[in-house]
């Protein structure tokens, strides 16, 4: 069974810092990996999707990398802002087997950016 | 708004009652997913449909849970004889299989509280 782990569980930084969130997964046979943002009590907002054949994706101040062979992904946030405060979730989709459709999620990293 | 919508947003019920949630996916999305999220955890997969066919069900989906997508458009998730352990956020997502990516877009969720 695919297990997804996110480190750290919580992070508190001053505004303006560059930061890195980590995600690791146990089965490297993935179809894609997605990073989401979740505000308290809300649904999930997709930030970036990386296909298994890709190494990274960028959107604005966000950059996500994927090293499938080592089972790792990182989300890099540049010049953090208080509005970035949220929980960031990493999810992988299997590439084979009977569980092709589902996403496997980590528990998330709760980010607080203070002014 | 052309995103995924879910109704109701909040539901409070007494133990033993039946509840039904509705999800309207993004139009022309052929896949629809249900996830459950408890406090401090990442979402856990419940089931998904491709058009009207239910292709996969998690072991989390006990006999008290049933999901339908009768015409390949909206979906309903029913929980019979609710238990306090069913209290959670129920998230719906949709995606289009056949395009260049298979990004899952999530709705705002239905928060269920069982008293």
What is the Cα–Cα distance from B76 to B95, expressed in whole angstroms?
A: 17
Asked if A99 contacts B56 with a C-beta cutoff of 8 angstroms, the reply is yes
Q: How far is CA A12 from CA A62, A106, A115, in A?
A: 18, 19, 11
Asked if A101 contacts B55 with a C-beta cutoff of 8 angstroms, the reply is yes
pLDDT tens digits, A18-46: 999 999 999 988 989 999 999 988 899 99
Instruction: Work out the mean pLDDT of chain A and round it to a whole number.
Output: 93
CB atoms closer than 10 angstroms to residue B101 = 14
Place of tokens 């528990």: A107
Radius of gyration from C-alpha coordinates of chain B: 14
CB atoms closer than 10 angstroms to residue A32 = 21
Of A89, A102, A104, the CB nearest to B56: A102
Determine how β-strand A56-59 pairs with β-strand A62-67: antiparallel
Asked if B115 contacts B104 with a C-beta cutoff of 8 angstroms, the reply is no
Q: Is the CB of residue B48 less than 8 Å away from at least one CB of chain A?
A: yes
Q: Above 90 in pLDDT, residue A98?
A: no
Give the chain A residue whose CA is nearest to the CA of B111: A41
- Partners of A65 in the β-ladder: A56, A74
Contacts of A109 in chain B (CB under 8 A): none
pLDDT tens digits, B22-51: 999 999 899 999 999 999 899 999 999 999
Q: Above 60 in pLDDT, residue A91?
A: yes
* pLDDT in the model for residue B91: 97
Q: Is the CB of residue B41 less than 8 Å away from at least one CB of chain A?
A: yes
Contact call for B42 and A32, based on CB within 8 A: no
Contact call for A4 and B56, based on CB within 8 A: no
* Among B43, B47, B55, B108, the residue to mutate for chain A (most A Cβ within 10 A): B43
């Amino acid at each position: 069974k695919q297990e997804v782990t996110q480190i750290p569980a919580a992070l508190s930084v001053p505004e303006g810092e560059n930061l890195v969130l980590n995600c690791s997964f146990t089965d490297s046979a993935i179809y894609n990996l997605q990073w989401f943002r979740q505000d308290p009590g809300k649904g999930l907002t997709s930030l970036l999707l990386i296909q298994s054949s890709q190494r990274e994706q960028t959107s604005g101040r966000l950059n996500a990398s994927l090293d499938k062979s080592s089972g790792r992904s990182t989300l890099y946030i540049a010049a953090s802002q208080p509005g970035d405060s949220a929980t960031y979730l990493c999810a992988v989709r299997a590439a084979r087997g009977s569980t092709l459709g589902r996403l496997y999620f980590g528990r998330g990293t709760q980010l607080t950016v203070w002014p | 708004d052309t995103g995924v919508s879910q109704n109701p947003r909040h539901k409070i019920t007494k133990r033993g009652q039946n509840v039904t949630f509705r999800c309207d996916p993004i139009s022309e999305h052929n896949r629809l997913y249900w996830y459950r999220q408890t406090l401090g955890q990442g979402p856990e997969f419940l089931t998904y449909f491709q058009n009207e066919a239910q292709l996969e069900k998690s072991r989390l989906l006990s006999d008290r849970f049933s999901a339908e997508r009768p015409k390949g458009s909206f979906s309903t998730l029913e929980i019979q004889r609710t238990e306090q352990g069913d209290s959670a956020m129920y998230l719906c997502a949709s995606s289009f299989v056949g395009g260049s990516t298979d990004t899952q877009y999530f709705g705002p969720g239905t928060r269920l509280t069982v008293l």
